[in-house]
Amino acid sequence: WEECAVELARSQGASTETFQFLLRFNVANRLDALGVGKWKSEVENLISECPDNRNAREGWTRLLYSNLTSCEQLKEATWLLELAVWKTKIDESTSLHGQDGEERNQCRINCGVQQI
């Protein structure tokens, strides 16, 4: 879809409003998967700032998709960091208290990932 959007940006046929509509449709699932309101707003605002100059759209479109990919990578890194913190807490708890399912669950709740 990304390359299709870039090709559309190169073409001279789509109005700015049509191009924005197609971009919103194109990235809707990716935006929903982000789940971070601030990032979703930033991407939405970027789409709203689509240049009227059709010659500038290709670079702008690549920037939009680059920003969206960066947000996705940050979210993935956050998950990995959360899992690493959780594993550390489980390891600490296991060495102190032995293996207990409820204890593992409490480690996840109390591991401090809210600060990530």
pTM of the model: 0.64
Q: Residue 115's pLDDT is what? A: 54
Model confidence pLDDT, tens digit, residues 43-60? 888 889 888 887 788 888
18 or 94: which carries more pLDDT confidence?
18
- List CB contacts of 46: < 8 A, sequence separation 6 or more: 63, 64, 67
Average pLDDT for 22-46 = 84
Of residues 63 and 90, more confidently modeled: 63
Please give the pLDDT value at position 96. 64
- Residue closest to 93 by CA, chosen among 81, 104, 108, 80: 104
